[in-house]
């Protein structure tokens, strides 16, 4: 395997799940999430193999994915609707009794997450799902670290409010 391929293969393995999840939570469709995640890595690979400088690959991947999501909604002018069936995210390790409750909680969170503004969604996903640091999020979002902290706090408040509105 060539060095370039080996290096990018590592990048792919490291980020594919996060990027897929990031996209999936924002488009709520497995097919569309797959398309957008694939295209994100194809674009990154094209740039990478062409020898173009990518200072922060992780930030670059999220930025590309986010732009593709925006393009997707712009082109398709889709209205996001989330059916109850899409909430099901089975985890075989969980006991059957607790599984239903957890799924229900996750569904509520997913629904509430989809209802808050896009920037807040990004911040919550990046911070609490992908466990990125504040400086990393600042680089991806193009904001200062202070602004990220403030926005993140507001995002959580907003999410909480949405969940409480659902009797959570």
Partner 1 sequence: MQEKDLVRTIEQLRSIEPRKDWVLSTKGRIFAEYDFEHAEPKRLWGFFLKPVAVLPLAALAVIGIVFSFSALQDLKTTNFEVAQLKADLQEIQKLTLSLENLQSDILEAKESLEGTEIISPKMVLEMSEGVRSAAVTGREVIEETRKIAEAASSSQEQLSILTSITNTEKAIEDFEMSYQEKVKVVLESLIEEMEHWALGEEDLQKFEEAKQIYQEGRYSEALERILTIGY
Q: Give contact residues for partner 1 (rule: CB under 8 A).
A: 2, 5, 8-9, 12, 16-17, 20-21, 24-25, 33-34, 37-38, 41-42, 45, 49, 89, 91, 102, 105-106, 109-110, 113, 124, 128-129, 156, 159-160, 163-164, 168
Nearer to partner 1, 25 or 140 (CB): 25
Cβ distance to partner 1 smaller for residue 31 or 77: 31
Minimum distance from residue 20 beta carbon to partner 1 (Å):
4
Hunting for tokens 């999840």 — which residue is that?
21
Query: To the nearest whole angstrom, how small is the minimum distance from the Cβ of residue 79 to partner 1?
Result: 22
Alpha carbons 65 and 20: distance in angstroms, whole number: 9
**CB of 41 or CB of 62, closer to partner 1:** 41
Q: Return the exposure string of 60-84: e unless at least 16 CB atoms fall within 10 Å of the residue's CB, then b.
A: bbbbbbbebbeebeeeeeeeeeeee
What is the smallest separation between the CB atom of 63 and partner 1, expressed in angstroms? 18
Give the Cα-Cα-Cα angle 29, 103, 37 (nearest 5 degrees): 25
Q: Closest approach of Cβ 139 to partner 1, in Å?
A: 22
Q: Closest separation between CB of residue 59 and partner 1, Å?
A: 20
Q: Sign of torsion, CA 114 18 130 118?
A: negative
Nearer CB in complex with partner 1: 54/128: 128
User: Are 138 and 144 in contact, with CB atoms under 8 Å apart?
Assistant: yes
Nearer to partner 1, 22 or 77 (CB): 22
Q: How far is CA 154 from CA 28, 147, 163, in A?
A: 23, 11, 14
Owner of token pair 């995002």: 155
């Amino acid at each position: 395997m060539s060095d370039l391929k080996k290096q990018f293969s590592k990048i792919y393995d490291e980020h594919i799940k996060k990027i897929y999840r990031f996209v999936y939570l924002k488009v709520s469709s497995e097919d569309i999430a797959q398309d957008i995640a694939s295209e994100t890595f194809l674009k990154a690979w094209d740039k990478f193999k062409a020898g173009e400088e990518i200072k922060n690959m992780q930030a670059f991947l999220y930025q590309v994915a986010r732009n593709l999501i925006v393009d997707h909604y712009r082109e398709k002018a889709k209205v996001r609707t989330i059916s109850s069936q899409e909430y099901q995210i089975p985890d075989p390790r969980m006991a059957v009794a607790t599984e239903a409750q957890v799924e229900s909680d996750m569904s509520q969170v997913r629904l509430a997450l989809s209802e808050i503004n896009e920037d807040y969604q990004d911040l919550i996903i990046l911070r609490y799902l992908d466990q990125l640091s504040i400086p990393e999020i600042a680089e991806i979002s193009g904001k200062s670290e202070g602004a990220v902290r403030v926005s993140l706090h507001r995002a959580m408040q907003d999410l909480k409010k949405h969940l409480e509105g659902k009797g959570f």
